[in-house]
């Protein structure tokens, strides 16, 4: 009897969810550990440093959805590099866990074998400091992506919002949306120098919210701006998908708004704290 080949089942499921009407779904794909090289670095606006990675290590890398992420693995303080090992379609991680930082896949070009990671610039950040000084040819160890959240293409309206740490995902979201998509994209940045060109569908309005000197994570900008939008309510005919990411405390009242006032079903929104004020290497489950 011939054994069924399920290696590409995740690609079929991604296509099914995108074309369906049942809400978003997490779809996993095989996780790899790769050693790649720094090809180049560049500033994207004043707030993001783009790390372009490349080389044969990217052979077989998969990228399918805007909010998927990889982990960059750093040596321990004593210089020891401890990497996970392949275990089927998963990875076995050493204990205690090595030092890692998680970032959105901003762009992947399979033909050129290039992977872009956009890292928010901030003082004291391990990866941000390293990325600003990374040298061409320097090896980088990348784990993932483990999968991603697949969102159907047929929602009536989309709401995307977050701070600059969410900007790489929002930028990719806008590029990959159907050209007929409608909705809003709101991004909190320090000022006009952190704004970047975004390739949004004509029906998606982009708004930049400026902190004007306030520290990241302390400005009360996102919630009132989002609440002022004419989003569809529970009794409206149009359906809505909401994706929010950024500082965890800023998102708390918006979680309640989505659940209690908009009353969206679980598959119709995703809210993730990418970081938390005063907490290093914060890790939040998607809600």
Query: Which residues of the chain form CATH 2.40.30.10?
Result: 7-148
Does the pTM surpass 0.85? The reply is: yes
Query: What local confidence, expressed as pLDDT, does residue 2 receive?
Result: 40
Tell me, which fold does domain 153-275 have in CATH? Answer: Rossmann fold (3.40.50)
Query: Which residues of the chain form CATH 3.40.50.80?
Result: 153-275
Q: What is the tens place of the pLDDT at every residue in 52-92?
A: 999 999 999 999 999 899 999 999 999 999 999 999 889 99
- Rg of the Cα trace of the chain? 19
Query: What local confidence, expressed as pLDDT, does residue 287 receive?
Result: 53
CATH no. of 7-148 = 2.40.30.10
Asked if residue 75 lies in contact with residue 145, where contact means CB atoms within 8 angstroms, the answer is: no
User: Is the CA virtual torsion 174, 49, 29, 94 positive or negative?
Assistant: negative
Query: What local confidence, expressed as pLDDT, does residue 126 receive?
Result: 84
Q: Say which DSSP state 10 is in.
A: H
Q: E strands of the chain, at which residues?
A: 25-28, 33-44, 48-54, 69-74, 85-87, 90-92, 99-104, 107-109, 114-120, 139-143, 147-150, 157-163, 182-189, 203-210, 240-247, 269-275
Identify the CA nearest to 166 among candidates 280, 54, 248.
248
List phi, psi (to 5°) of 132.
-65, -25
Query: What local confidence, expressed as pLDDT, does residue 69 receive?
Result: 96
Asked if residue 209 lies in contact with residue 192, where contact means CB atoms within 8 angstroms, the answer is: no
Tokens 């959105």 locate to: 104
Q: What is the tens place of the pLDDT at every residue in 117-138?
A: 999 998 777 888 898 899 999 9
Query: What local confidence, expressed as pLDDT, does residue 279 receive?
Result: 74
User: How many Cα neighbours within 13 Å face the side chain of 240?
Assistant: 20
Q: How far is CA 5 from the centre of its chain?
A: 30
Region label for 189, one of left (φ > 0), alpha (ψ between -120 and 50) or beta (otherwise): beta
Q: How far apart are CA 229 and CA 42, in angstroms?
A: 34
Low-confidence ranges of the chain (pLDDT < 50): 1-5
């Amino acid at each position: 009897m011939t054994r069924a080949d399920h290696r590409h089942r995740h690609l079929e499921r991604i296509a099914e969810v995108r074309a369906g009407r049942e809400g978003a779904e997490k779809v996993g794909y095989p996780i790899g550990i790769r050693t790649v090289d720094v090809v180049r670095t560049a500033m994207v606006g004043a707030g993001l440093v783009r790390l372009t990675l490349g080389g044969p290590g990217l052979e077989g890398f998969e990228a399918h959805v805007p909010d998927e992420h990889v982990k960059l693995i750093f040596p321990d303080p004593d210089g020891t590099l401890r990497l996970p090992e392949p275990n089927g379609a998963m990875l076995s991680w050493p204990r205690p866990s090595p030092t890692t930082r998680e970032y959105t896949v901003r762009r992947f070009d399979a033909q050129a074998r290039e992977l872009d990671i956009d890292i928010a610039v901030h003082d004291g950040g391990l990866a941000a400091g390293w990325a600003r000084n990374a040298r061409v040819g320097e090896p980088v160890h990348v784990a993932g992506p483990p999968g991603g959240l697949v969102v159907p293409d047929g929602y009536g309206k989309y709401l995307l919002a977050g701070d600059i740490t969410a900007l790489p995902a929002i930028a990719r979201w806008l590029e990959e949306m159907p050209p007929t998509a409608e909705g809003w994209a709101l991004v909190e940045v320090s000022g006009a120098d952190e704004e970047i060109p975004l390739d949004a569908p004509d029906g998606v309005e982009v708004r930049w919210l400026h902190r004007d000197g306030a520290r990241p994570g302390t400005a009360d900008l996102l919630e009132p701006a989002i609440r002022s939008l004419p989003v569809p309510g529970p009794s409206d005919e149009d359906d809505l998908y909401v994706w929010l990411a950024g500082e965890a405390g800023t998102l708390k009242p918006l979680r309640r708004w989505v659940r209690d006032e908009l009353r969206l079903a679980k598959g119709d929104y995703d809210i993730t704290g990418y970081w938390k004020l005063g907490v290093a290497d914060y890790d939040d489950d998607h809600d």
